[in-house]
A and B are shown apart, each in its own frame.
Chain A
Amino acid sequence: GGIITQTPKFLIGQEGQKLTLKCQQNFNHDTMYWYRQDSGKGLRLIYYSITENDLQKGDLSEGYDASREKKSSFSLTVTSAQKNEMAVFLCASSLDRSSYEQYFGPGTRLTVL
């Protein structure tokens, strides 16, 4: 088994601020993902990474940057936080590009004041 950890669990920022969310997995999975979930709604893909140092944009990448410097970690940066940014950000991983069963972390809840 393995686990995905996300830090911080809660993140409060000011409008216009640059904010970074972190994700670590010990599954030894190749592929990692960042999703945004607005209250009670489905998931929208922001960025994903097939392997270390790879980055692929999802449907919602505008306003975000990502970084995959190590296989086990994947960071997401909100470049300029907006009030409508308040959501839960979920990190996930899957074994490789062919395996689409994704395992999710507990999420980071972002609030922008």
Chain B
Amino acid sequence: QQKVQQSPESLIVPEGGMASLNCTSSDRNVDYFWWYRQHSGKSPKMLMSIFSNGEKEEGRFTVHLNKASLHTSLHIRDSQPSDSALYLCAARTQVVGQLTFGRGTRLQVYA
């Protein structure tokens, strides 16, 4: 079973809409989450990271973390067609030097 589960698998939102992506870890040793964005044919690029309970906002992007449930979510407001990409959630465990990635959520924003 995947240790990092993302939902939904794919998401379609209109331009200007809100996109909400979820990620949960089943590994109780996880203490840090990252969100990466990967445009088609490109390599993943780090978007945001979070390790404290609560939320963190950077421009149109907000990340939430609930450490008790090991659940993080990424919210994109005022979605743009350029936000269309594969969004990967990664979790750090206490195994030094290793991240575990989820399968990703494919976001499509239509004009």
User: A and B: real partners?
Assistant: yes
Cα distance A100–B42 in the bound complex, in angstroms: 20
Whether A48 sits at the interface, judged by CB under 8 Å, is yes
A100: min CB distance to chain B, Å = 5
Whether B28 sits at the interface, judged by CB under 8 Å, is no
Whether A78 sits at the interface, judged by CB under 8 Å, is no
Q: Looking at chain A's contact residues, is the secondary structure mostly helix, strand, loop, or mixed?
A: loop
Q: What residues of chain B lie closer than 8 Å to A102, measured between beta carbons?
A: 46, 99
Interface members, chain A 74-104 (any B CB < 8 Å): 90, 94, 97-98, 100-104
Q: Are A43 and B96 in contact (CB under 8 A)?
A: no
Pick the interface stretch among B12-20, B55-63, B70-78, B101-109.
Answer: B101-109
Cα distance A58–B96 in the bound complex, in angstroms: 12
1/0 per residue, CB under 8 A from B, across A32-45: the answer is 00010000111111
Q: Are B97 and A42 in contact (CB under 8 A)?
A: no
Whether A13 sits at the interface, judged by CB under 8 Å, is no
Cα distance A100–B32 in the bound complex, in angstroms: 9
Whether B82 sits at the interface, judged by CB under 8 Å, is no
Q: What residues of chain B lie closer than 8 Å to A90, measured between beta carbons?
A: 43-44
Whether A31 sits at the interface, judged by CB under 8 Å, is yes
B20: min CB distance to chain A, Å = 19
A68: min CB distance to chain B, Å = 13
Cα distance A60–B33 in the bound complex, in angstroms: 21
Cα distance A90–B88 in the bound complex, in angstroms: 14
Q: What residues of chain B lie closer than 8 Å to A105, measured between beta carbons?
A: 43
Q: Are A97 and B104 in contact (CB under 8 A)?
A: no
Q: What residues of chain B lie closer than 8 Å to A100, measured between beta carbons?
A: 32, 34, 49, 90, 92, 99
B21: min CB distance to chain A, Å = 13
A residues at B contact (CB < 8 Å): 31, 35, 40-45, 48, 50, 56, 58, 90, 94, 97-98, 100-107
Knowing that A90-B43, A100-B92, A102-B99 touch, tell me 19 more A-B residue pairs with CB under 8 angstroms. A31-B97, A40-B86, A42-B101, A42-B103, A45-B98, A45-B100, A48-B98, A50-B96, A56-B97, A56-B98, A90-B44, A97-B96, A97-B97, A100-B34, A100-B49, A101-B49, A104-B43, A104-B45, A106-B42
